[in-house]
Chain A
């Protein structure tokens, strides 16, 4: 037990020494707080129209810090709402793919043999499909709601996770503590949940951190095209689409959500890289 404790402590130490990852973590925390609390503190609702201030640039009208869009809606509030929706979908979809991927991979890797071959064949076939295109079909079929988006993205996101986890599980089950558990009379379910899955945490955390920005990108890609989150609900994708239409005369309507999305993705990628370096020192 003390061995595992020190493994995590070492990892934390290495992460603390990585300035880029720490700054990313801080920025992300700030963005989460802003997205959750921000809209409550500001004077405008996200769909509220300020008839006196339409398409005003940042810092020029009282109360509209980052300006307003063509309809006089406060851009800061809308961007924070978009951040909320984009992050919410990304976190939930990542959780969905974590749940499916980890259990699928852990079971396949632990059982081995024919079950493993069959389960991984399913993963291979789904892997060969162009995922974004099937997400598009699903949104066409089941309507463009946040729930459809969430389920559709989660339904494909677990594949890589299942592969990673299976590989790790195959290696783990040969270890002495699993043998000891089998000798001790533990059943398959108990070994998978108590011995295999806890030891998979490192790679799973790293991969999950790198999955979140991927999901954010897919969601905003679809929302940008008009197939994802729909007006009046804001997502970073449809805000950027709005801004792209107005960019000739009102650059800030594009710049604000675009800057927000790009820094979000940057931070998640840096944090993911930092976690990978911290948790897997063999890479150095």
Chain B
């Protein structure tokens, strides 16, 4: 089987999952007791009927679902029930670039710091550097994003005045530092632990001993013989890392006042804005599944065992 067949099969496999996500989120929001227009003061029945007709809520549920899916296929997520002047699609397209920017920057930062930290710890196993990196990693894994974020804002924003505490303006990269670092820290911690473990395991492998016996220089053994194999678990962690960053962005965008998708989702959830929440969840789910898929494909491409097997 060639790599291409594998790619196509995996892509097709993602479609049923997406369908389940759309159907499940639609059904869940229709199970809701009460409608989206239940306010403190009851609306006069005529106005209520007009509103429901305007949003298509007077139709049978099956028709509503058909319309919704049809809209989705055309990139239309429907109107927001609470932000009456915006469609969900407008809110998504304004928020997505912000969320993607900080998310991508966080993953990149995590790779750049986490992998070298793990390698360093593995090469200095059981010495001070190793202990230090690993203690920091345990801390990074156990301290949740919503504790890291206010803590960093307090230290670097309020006490030291180095960075802005909140806000977002184009062309002010300083605004992005704290959000990106906050999102990256847990991923750095995980990557460092993972990298250390897998490198230590590979360094014990017979082919590494053979390379040492042949008198190859240590940096050559590390870079050419040990690292390629040791990096595989790191690649397979990329999928969960993306999920962690996307989930964390809800907190980070809320705390640092970034106008991303996460903040829209939280606002939507607080306002019980069904279409907004549904649309955001569908976009987040699609992002996670797509990026997970890409990580899997990279893994399959890198792992010679899988690659060769597929060529047979």
Contacts and interface: CB of A to CB of B under 8 A. Distances in A.
* Chain A interface size range: 35 or more
A159 B14 CA distance: 19
A125 B17 contact: yes
Interface in A230-246: 237, 240-241, 243-244
Interface in B58-91: none
A247 B153 CA distance: 9
Contacts of B31: 141
Contacts of A254: 150, 154
Contacts of A167: none
Contacts, number: 114
A267 to B, nearest CB: 9
B250 A225 contact: yes
A37 to B, nearest CB: 26
A240 B146 CA distance: 8
With a 10 A CB-CB cut-off, give which of A130, A140, A237, A262 has the most chain B CB atoms: A140
Nearest to A248: B158
Contacts of A196: none
B236 interface: no
B150 A142 contact: no
A221 interface: yes
Q: Binding site of A, secondary structure by majority: helix, strand, loop or mixed?
A: helix
Given A134-B24, A265-B144, A225 B29 contact: no
Contacts of B144: 217, 220-221, 261-262, 265
B306 interface: no
A142 B265 CA distance: 17
A55 to B, nearest CB: 16
B142 interface: yes
A249 to B, nearest CB: 10
Contact of B150 (A133, A139, A217, A247): A247
A225 B151 contact: no
A134 B28 CA distance: 9
A237 B150 CA distance: 13
Nearest to A137: B28
A130 to B, nearest CB: 5
B243 A258 contact: no
A266 interface: yes
Contact of B270 (A141, A226, A258): A226
With a 10 A CB-CB cut-off, give which of B141, B147, B270, B281 has the most chain A CB atoms: B147
B299 interface: no
A125 B289 CA distance: 12
Interface of A: 125, 128-130, 132-134, 136-142, 213, 217, 220-221, 224-227, 237, 240-241, 243-244, 247-248, 251, 254, 258, 261-262, 265-266, 269
10 contacts: A133-B280, A133-B281, A136-B281, A140-B268, A220-B146, A225-B250, A225-B266, A240-B146, A247-B154, A254-B154
Given A133-B284, A221-B247, 20 more contacts: A125-B16, A128-B289, A130-B281, A133-B281, A137-B28, A137-B29, A137-B277, A140-B268, A141-B29, A217-B144, A221-B250, A221-B251, A225-B251, A244-B149, A244-B153, A248-B158, A258-B150, A261-B147, A262-B147, A265-B143
